[in-house]
Amino acid sequence: MEKVHVKRGDTVCVISGKDKGKKGKVIKVFPRKKKAIVEGVNMASKHQKPRPGIDQGGIIQIELPIYTSKLMVVCGKCNKPTRIGHKVLEDGSKVRICKNCQEILDR
């Protein structure tokens, strides 16, 4: 299993590409592909056929996966994009920390 620095539920900022500067919440992570789906980022138009009783057809906007190397986690305390550090607590659990303010990022 490949390792990525983002988890589902993290708020991230895009640091390169057409959506540079946009912030959003991680919806889903694909560790093997090193990609993640972020809310409101990397949008694409999809032509969808109407299905009876479920939804109407038309052109809908969907989020496509984006490489995790283009994402930086936003710290909840200092509200800035930050690099991720790791720390082992006294009880033996591993947590991710903000490199700027040393705040614990894991819930």
Q: How confident is the model at residue 1 (pLDDT cuts 50, 70, 90)?
A: low
Mean pLDDT calculated for residue range 59-88:
93
**Who has greater pLDDT, 55 or 24?**
24
Question: How far are the Cα atoms of 8, 11, 23, 92 from residue 88, in angstroms, in the given order?
Answer: 21, 23, 29, 6
Fold topology of 1-74? SH3 type barrels. (2.30.30)
Residue 39 near residue 49, CB atoms below 8 Å:
no
How do the domains of the chain map onto residue ranges? 1-74, 77-107
Tokens of 40: 């409101």
Q: What is the mean pLDDT of residues 69-90?
A: 92
* The pLDDT value given to residue 71: 95
List, as one string, the DSSP characters of 52-63: TTTB--EEEEEE
